């Protein structure tokens, strides 16, 4: 796979980047790429007493970093002009190694930039970098597989779009752009979780339902209306897709200022949710607040909750409502399956081009706008051809 080919020959100042996520970890990796100086050599004392620039390639070497207090590290030279330092994963050790290296003449960059600098020789480095970045943000094997499947796809498409413009095939161009833009939402959620917001009257069991779905007590459950006062979120995975579940304050008219602001935030979260869910307590007789919510959010998925108790609604909910008891843990997989079905109605075909970032989506959108609005298409071939090449 060409994603991480490393042609690290560069005449620029050497760069230093941290390749492990920020925060505490067991081990961190700091990488240097470029012609490093004698001053870098002096920072590492190998246990085998060999100088850094004399260490064999692709071999792990234990040693000590810096002056007192020294840091135990493992170092690996992976090419003539690059090495990795594996150190303790706490902030202090990483910061210390990075500042020693910047003082020794390395330029601090982020890892995608270092990767891009090392791969500048490749024509399509911009696309590959976007895929590498997206891949680092994927949280499930399923989403990672879709991102990896995009390698090489975008550059082929750009060549095709370029040809369509050159030959003035506007209808075909428009159709191609439409079929790409169709998957933008799917592509965005390969790195960002889908938002599922649970709302309903107080005490209907929203927090209990979230806890049952994730399998632990994330949200406080109490037999008293108005327990949840703010939006409480938790991330989980349904069928390999990343999901952010939001628990909200129960919806009712309230004089309490704190509760009212929680209710307003709940409505805000509901209005931007990818999948709004209304929870109805069917063990209680229907109330006007329930009907108002059902009327206000007609697109919401409806959960008939507390089905372990006698049903007081007697078939007044739509037939596609999902019947759940959080107490007895019934109906939970039906609910998660239905949520996934609503979020992802259809999977892209295997050969689809999927915009992975907002940036890519905006570029395709802008291109489609240019094709749609131009009054004189004859001139478009001249104006758009460089646009396609330079804007991707």
Ligand X SMILES: Nc1nc2c(ncn2[C@@H]2O[C@H](COP(=O)(O)OP(=O)(O)OP(=O)(O)O)[C@@H](O)[C@H]2O)c(=O)[nH]1
Q: Which residues bind Mg ion (CB under 5 A)?
A: 207, 227-228
Interface residue with ligand X among 8, 191, 203, 246 (CB under 6 A) is: 203
77 contributes a contact to ligand X by CB under 6 A: no
346 contributes a contact to ligand X by CB under 6 A: no
In angstroms, give the least distance from the CB of 206 to Mg ion. 5
C-alpha neighbours within 13 Å on the C-beta side of residue 321:
22
14 contributes a contact to ligand X by CB under 6 A: no
CA torsion 252-256-259-260 (nearest 10°) is: 70
306 contributes a contact to ligand X by CB under 6 A: yes
User: Footprint of ligand X on residues 231-250 (CB under 6 A)?
Assistant: 250
Report whether 305 contacts 280 (CB < 8 A): yes
The residue whose Cβ lies closest to ligand X is 250
User: Footprint of ligand X on residues 349-378 (CB under 6 A)?
Assistant: none
Closest CB to Mg ion among 191 and 211? 211
In angstroms, give the least distance from the CB of 313 to Mg ion. 21
In angstroms, give the least distance from the CB of 318 to ligand X. 20
Interface residue with ligand X among 66, 90, 149, 225 (CB under 6 A) is: 225
Interface residue with ligand X among 15, 119, 157, 207 (CB under 6 A) is: 207
206 contributes a contact to ligand X by CB under 6 A: yes
Closest CB to Mg ion among 140 and 227? 227
Q: Which does 204 bind (CB under 5 to 8 A by kind): ligand X, Mg ion, none?
A: ligand X
Q: Which does 326 bind (CB under 5 to 8 A by kind): Mg ion, ligand X, none?
A: ligand X
Q: Judged by CB under 6 A, which stretch of 177-185, 256-264, 322-330, 375-383 contacts ligand X?
A: 322-330
Between CA 270 and CA 175 the distance in angstroms is 33
In angstroms, give the least distance from the CB of 196 to ligand X. 15
Interface residue with ligand X among 228, 246, 321, 357 (CB under 6 A) is: 228
Q: Judged by CB under 6 A, which stretch of 50-58, 60-68, 92-100, 217-225 contacts ligand X?
A: 217-225
222 contributes a contact to ligand X by CB under 6 A: yes
Q: Which does 112 bind (CB under 5 to 8 A by kind): ligand X, Mg ion, none?
A: none
327 contributes a contact to ligand X by CB under 6 A: yes
322 contributes a contact to ligand X by CB under 6 A: no
Between CA 331 and CA 282 the distance in angstroms is 14
Report whether 10 contacts 117 (CB < 8 A): yes
Report whether 73 contacts 47 (CB < 8 A): no
Interface residue with ligand X among 28, 94, 221, 269 (CB under 6 A) is: 221
Q: Which does 361 bind (CB under 5 to 8 A by kind): ligand X, Mg ion, none?
A: none
Q: Judged by CB under 6 A, which stretch of 12-20, 120-128, 197-205, 368-376 contacts ligand X?
A: 197-205
208 contributes a contact to ligand X by CB under 6 A: yes
Q: Which of 371, 392, 368 is nearest to 182 (CA)?
A: 368
Binding residues for ligand X, rule: CB under 6 A, are 202-208, 221-223, 225-228, 250, 305-306, 308-309, 325-327
């Amino acid at each position: 796979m060409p994603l991480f080919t490393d042609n690290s020959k560069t005449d620029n100042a050497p760069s230093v980047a941290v390749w492990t996520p920020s925060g505490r970890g067991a081990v961190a990796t700091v990488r240097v790429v470029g012609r490093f100086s004698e001053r870098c050599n002096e920072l590492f004392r190998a246990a085998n007493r060999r100088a850094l620039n004399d260490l064999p390639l692709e071999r792990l070497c234990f040693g000590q970093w810096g002056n007192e207090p020294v840091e135990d590290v493992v170092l690996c030279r992976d090419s003539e002009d690059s090495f990795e330092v594996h150190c303790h994963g706490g902030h202090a050790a990483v910061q210390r190694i990075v500042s020693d290296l910047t003082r020794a003449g390395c330029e601090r960059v982020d890892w995608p930039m270092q990767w891009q600098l090392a791969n500048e020789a490749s024509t399509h480095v911009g696309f590959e970098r976007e895929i590498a970045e997206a891949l680092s943000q994927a949280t499930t094997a399923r989403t990672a597989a879709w991102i990896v499947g995009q390698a090489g796809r975008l550059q082929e498409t750009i060549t095709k779009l370029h040809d369509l413009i050159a030959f003035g095939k506007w209808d075909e161009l428009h159709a191609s752009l439409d079929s790409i833009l169709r998957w933008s939402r799917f592509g965005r959620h390969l790195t960002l979780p889908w938002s599922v917001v649970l709302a309903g009257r107080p005490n209907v069991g929203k927090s209990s339902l979230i806890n049952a779905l994730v399998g632990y007590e994330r949200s406080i459950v109490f037999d008293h209306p108005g327990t949840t006062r703010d939006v409480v979120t938790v991330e989980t995975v349904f069928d390999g897709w990343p999901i952010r579940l939001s628990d909200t304050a129960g919806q009712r008219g309230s004089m309490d200022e704190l509760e009212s602001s929680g209710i307003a935030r709940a409505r805000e979260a509901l209005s931007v949710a990818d999948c709004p869910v209304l929870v109805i307590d069917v063990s209680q007789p229907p109330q006007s607040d329930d009907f108002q919510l059902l009327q206000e959010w007609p697109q919401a998925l409806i959960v008939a909750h507390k089905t372990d108790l006698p049903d007081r609604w007697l078939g007044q909910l739509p037939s596609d409502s999902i019947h759940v008891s959080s107490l007895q843990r019934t109906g939970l997989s039906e609910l998660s399956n239905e949520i996934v079905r609503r979020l992802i109605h259809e999977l892209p075909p295997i050969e689809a081009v999927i915009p992975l970032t907002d940036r890519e989506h905006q570029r395709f959108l802008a291109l489609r706008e240019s094709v749609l609005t131009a009054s004189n298409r004859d001139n478009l071939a001249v104006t758009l051809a460089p646009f396609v090449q330079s804007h991707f």
